[in-house]
């Protein structure tokens, strides 16, 4: 028996890791190369000790090209291998390509992290996740909110609430305290006395006004800001003549997942436009300012996260930095809305039930 698991980006690798481990020898891991920079994806395979059995190449393409080329290549592969099911995660172009290819080859389709909705049609990911949900046979919803979204849209697949596999990934990959302290020292950082920032989404990087506002705000904070710089963001800053806005920030290359978690666990505040960070802070008991116009993760709004437009980042981040210590006890005692850390095994059990 084989079950094809399609991944193309670093968040997919992280979220699929617990499921792949529980599937064991049944998992056939397919990498699409959507994150064609090894620092953004390849190192994660090493960190988790898993490697693709098949690969296609859709990196460095436009969205339409990635979906089209990915669907074509995966359809051919599925026609040859005939897995018992195809599993995709989230809302990437790779996930949509895998979903369409499974549909085209009449294979059962499983969507991990189904039912997320931002209700923002300007987000390409919103279109991807809606399309995937409506062609899926098994929809693994991380929360009751996601479950209700699927029912409200009358998705025809079987729906199961499993929790989110991010809880297992964070719990497993977070280094021990001594290692975290050594990492902080290597960066010259003090526990709870720095901000960890990640910016990469096109709505921020492709708009010079947003880029200027975000990096001006980061420079204006009165604590050190550590910035693992995404290749897209670096290129856009250069193209817009805004490289000088990095001068007062502690800029580093993209870092591996365990090191990122270690730094996040000791940051006073995270500033990010990432989807995964919004979930991870709920496990690490940190807070994040999310620099986006909308979010598909409302479960953490007002507790672990707050939404913020780029123009307001300076004011919002300064407030959240200043009241972080006052809020920490409340955050420490707040459970993550993403489950108890058993989403991987619950997901695999549901997958096995639909193929038996």
Q: What is the mean pLDDT of residues 92-107?
A: 98
Q: What is the mean pLDDT of residues 304-312?
A: 98
Output the pLDDT for position 332: 95
Output the pLDDT for position 34: 85
More confident residue, 12 or 60: 12
Output the pLDDT for position 59: 85
Output the pLDDT for position 44: 67
| Predicted TM-score of the model (pTM) | 0.94
Lowest mean pLDDT among 29-33, 131-135, 162-166: 29-33
How far, in Å, CA of 316 to CA of 289, rounded? 8
Q: How confident is the model at residue 329 (pLDDT cuts 50, 70, 90)?
A: very high
Cβ within 8 Å of residue 300, ≥6 positions away: 278, 279, 281, 282, 337
pLDDT > 90? residue 325: no
Q: Spell out the domains of the chain, with CATH numbers in brackets.
A: 3-164+339-355 (3.40.50.2000), 172-332 (3.40.50.2000)
Report pLDDT digits (tens) over 32-75: 988 755 555 666 677 777 788 888 989 889 999 999 999 999 99
- Residue 29 pairs in a beta bridge with 5
The share of the chain scoring above pLDDT 90, in percent, equals 89
As annotated, the active-site residues are 200
CB distance 94 to 72 below 8 Å: no
Output the pLDDT for position 353: 96
Output the pLDDT for position 41: 61
Output the pLDDT for position 73: 97
Average pLDDT, the chain: 95
Output the pLDDT for position 39: 57
Output the pLDDT for position 37: 59
Residue (of 54, 88, 93) closest to 71 by Cα position: 93
- In angstroms, the Cα distances linking 250 to 198, 224, 229 are 12, 7, 10
The share of the chain scoring above pLDDT 70, in percent, equals 97
Output the pLDDT for position 215: 98
Report pLDDT digits (tens) over 181-205: 999 999 999 999 999 999 999 999 9
- In angstroms, the Cα distances linking 305 to 45, 104, 274, 326 are 29, 39, 12, 15
């Amino acid at each position: 028996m084989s079950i094809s698991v399609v991944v193309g980006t670093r968040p997919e690798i992280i979220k699929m890791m617990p499921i792949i481990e529980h599937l064991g020898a049944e998992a056939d891991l397919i990498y699409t190369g959507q994150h064609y920079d090894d620092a953004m994806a390849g190192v994660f395979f090493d960190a988790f000790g898993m490697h693709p059995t098949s690969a296609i190449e859709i990196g460095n393409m436009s969205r339409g090209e990635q979906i089209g080329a990915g669907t074509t290549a995966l359809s051919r592969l599925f026609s040859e291998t005939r897995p018992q099911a195809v599993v995709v995660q989230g809302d990437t172009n790779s996930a949509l390509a895998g979903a369409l290819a499974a549909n085209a080859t009449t294979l059962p389709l499983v969507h991990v992290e189904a039912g997320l909705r931002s209700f923002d049609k300007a987000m390409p990911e919103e279109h991807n996740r809606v399309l995937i949900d409506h062609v899926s046979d098994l929809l693994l919803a991380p929360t009751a909110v996601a479950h209700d979204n699927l029912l409200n849209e009358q998705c025809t697949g079987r729906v199961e609430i499993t929790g989110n596999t991010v809880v297992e990934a964070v719990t497993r990959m977070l280094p021990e305290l001594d290692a975290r302290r050594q990492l902080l020292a290597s960066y010259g950082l003090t526990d709870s006395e720095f901000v960890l920032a990640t910016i990469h989404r096109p709505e921020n990087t492709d708009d010079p006004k947003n880029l200027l506002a975000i990096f001006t705000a980061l420079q204006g904070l009165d604590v050190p800001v550590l910035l693992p710089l995404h290749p897209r963001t670096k290129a856009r800053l250069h193209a817009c003549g805004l490289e000088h806005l990095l001068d007062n920030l502690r800029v580093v290359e993209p870092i591996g997942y365990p090191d990122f978690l270690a730094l996040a666990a000791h940051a006073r505040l995270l500033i990010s436009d990432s989807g995964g960070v919004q979930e991870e802070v709920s496990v690490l008991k940190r807070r994040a300012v999310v620099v986006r116009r909308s979010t598909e993760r409302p479960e953490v709004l007002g507790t672990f996260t707050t939404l913020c437009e780029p123009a307001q980042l300076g004011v919002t981040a300064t407030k959240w930095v200043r009241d972080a210590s006052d809020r920490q006890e409340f955050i420490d005692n707040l459970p993550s809305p993403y489950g108890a850390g058993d989403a991987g095994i619950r997901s695999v059990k549901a997958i096995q039930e639909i193929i038996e």
